[in-house]
């Protein structure tokens, strides 16, 4: 099999047969001429299939070592489509440290379908099996988690899911396909917000679902078409462009993040730091076994509470205060008011999301400039 970097550039992206164009064209068409009634060339209507999106979906499957890829209009659209596999009366077991938008979806939307969720402490994998009920149909996790960057043993959880005939879905957004491929460890479904590292330039909103299970793919493809939350051809093209440089960018994100994490860990203004690449991280050994790199995300708790967070954020110049992550530029996020604002205060504290927690998406600027920016803000 070709190496990751080669597949990311070539898989599903052959030169255009009509013109020889090296880059996949943006097919801005809603519909396609049919040769006769019931006879077409593989495309009927662009909600169902579009050649630019087909190329993206092939690339997505390849970089995750999967057989089937599906692209969506956002990460939450991808998540919603996976959750559409469930029926009234079904039950989900989910890791307790997860994106606030996923929590909002589970508690404010999916619950209205008659589907309930039990949240399990991500640090205690045996509790996932304890939480399983006769009607449990899905286990949902993130690893690394958002925002506390916890790691869960995918292979161990896959064994639990398989033994109980339950689907295991893993949100792989934080690691990216370059550093981690959950299907290799037994997961059934991988989900991404392609808005983040796969797009990589903070210029699109998108999502993805990848699987090697043909039955699951058939169902998910049906829901993709029936629900219709698909990306435009242009957004598909932008994600394809991003995937081509994913390997190069992720190596730079990681290099910068490790450099800054080692600096921040020793700083007297930092109460606690979360970064999988530090030997002090509780699951550092598991990270090295399950991932090929440590990623570009850092979370930290500042001494001095919220007042210190406000001062810190106001003094940063290169780290922009903004939602999202995974772009080439560095961002600072305050989970309590931003990504995890949907969680009630009691839930946030229960899950360890304190008022002095900030999350850094480390970009690919020069590491010394980023360090100087943080030093100035902490001074």
Does residue 334 carry a catalytic annotation?
no
Verify cis geometry, omega within 30 degrees of 0, for the bond prior to 147: yes
| Structural tokens at position 63 | 């970089």
Catalytic one of 97, 171, 188, 373: 171
Helices 51-63 and 233-244 cross at an angle (nearest 10°) of: 30
Catalytic one of 32, 43, 47, 67: 47
Catalytic one of 7, 53, 90, 99: 99
C-alpha of 105 from chain center: 16
Question: If DSSP codes are grouped into helix, strand and coil, which group holds residue 138?
Answer: strand
Give the integer Cα–Cα distance in Å for 334 and 317: 16
Does residue 162 carry a catalytic annotation?
no
Half-sphere exposure of 99 (CA within 13 A, CB side): 22
Give the integer Cα–Cα distance in Å for 283 and 58: 33
Q: Give, for 226, the enclosing helix (H) or strand (E).
A: helix 214-227
Does residue 196 carry a catalytic annotation?
yes
Catalytic one of 181, 196, 351, 359: 196
CB atoms near residue 17 (< 10 Å): 7
Give the integer Cα–Cα distance in Å for 151 and 123: 8
Sign of the Cα pseudo-torsion (294, 217, 165, 136, in order): positive
Q: Which residue from 107, 178, 171 is spatially nearest to 144, judged by alpha carbons? A: 171
Contacts of 333 (CB under 8 A, 6+ apart): 147, 321, 322, 323, 324, 325, 339, 358, 359, 360, 361
Q: Which residue from 329, 280, 326, 286 is spatially nearest to 300, judged by alpha carbons? A: 280
Half-sphere exposure of 232 (CA within 13 A, CB side): 6
CB atoms near residue 306 (< 10 Å): 15
Which residues are catalytic, by number?
Answer: 47, 99, 171, 196
């Amino acid at each position: 099999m070709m190496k990751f970097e080669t597949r990311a550039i070539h898989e599903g992206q052959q030169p255009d047969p009509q013109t020889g164009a090296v880059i996949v064209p943006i097919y801005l068409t809603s519909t396609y001429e049919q040769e006769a009634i019931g006879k077409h060339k593989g495309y009927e209507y662009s909600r169902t299939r579009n050649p630019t999106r087909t190329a993206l979906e092939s690339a997505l499957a390849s970089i995750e070592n999967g057989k089937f890829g599906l692209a969506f209009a956002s990460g939450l659209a991808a998540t919603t489509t996976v959750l559409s596999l469930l029926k009234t009366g079904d039950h989900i077991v989910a890791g307790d440290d997860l994106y606030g938008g996923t929590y909002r979806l589970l508690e404010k939307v999916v619950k209205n379908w008659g589907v309930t969720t039990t949240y399990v402490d991500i640090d205690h994998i045996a509790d996932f099996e304890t939480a399983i009920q006769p009607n449990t149909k899905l286990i949902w996790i993130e690893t690394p988690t958002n925002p506390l960057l916890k790691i869960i043993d995918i292979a161990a959880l896959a064994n639990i899911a398989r033994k109980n005939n339950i689907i295991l879905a893993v949100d792989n957004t934080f690691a990216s396909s370059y550093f981690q491929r959950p299907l290799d460890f037994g997961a059934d479904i991988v989900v991404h917000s392609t808005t983040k590292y796969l797009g990589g330039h903070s210029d699109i909103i998108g999502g993805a679902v990848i699987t090697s299970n043909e039955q699951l793919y058939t169902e998910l493809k049906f829901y993709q078409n029936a629900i219709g939350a698909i990306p435009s051809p242009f957004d598909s093209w932008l994600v394809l462009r991003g995937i081509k440089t994913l390997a190069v960018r992720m190596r730079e994100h990681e290099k910068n993040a490790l450099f800054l994490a080692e600096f921040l860990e020793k700083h007297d203004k930092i109460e606690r730091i979360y970064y999988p690449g530090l030997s002090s991280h509780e699951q550092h050994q598991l990270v090295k076994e399950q991932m090929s790199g440590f990623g570009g995300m850092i979370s930290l708790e500042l001494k001095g509470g919220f007042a210190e967070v406000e001062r810190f954020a106001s003094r940063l110049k290169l780290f922009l205060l903004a939602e999202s992550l995974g772009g080439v530029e560095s961002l600072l996020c305050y989970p309590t008011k931003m990504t995890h604002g949907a969680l009630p205060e009691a839930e946030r504290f229960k899950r360890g999301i304190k008022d002095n927690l900030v999350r850094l998406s480390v970009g690919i600027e020069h590491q010394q400039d980023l360090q100087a920016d943080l030093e100035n803000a902490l001074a």
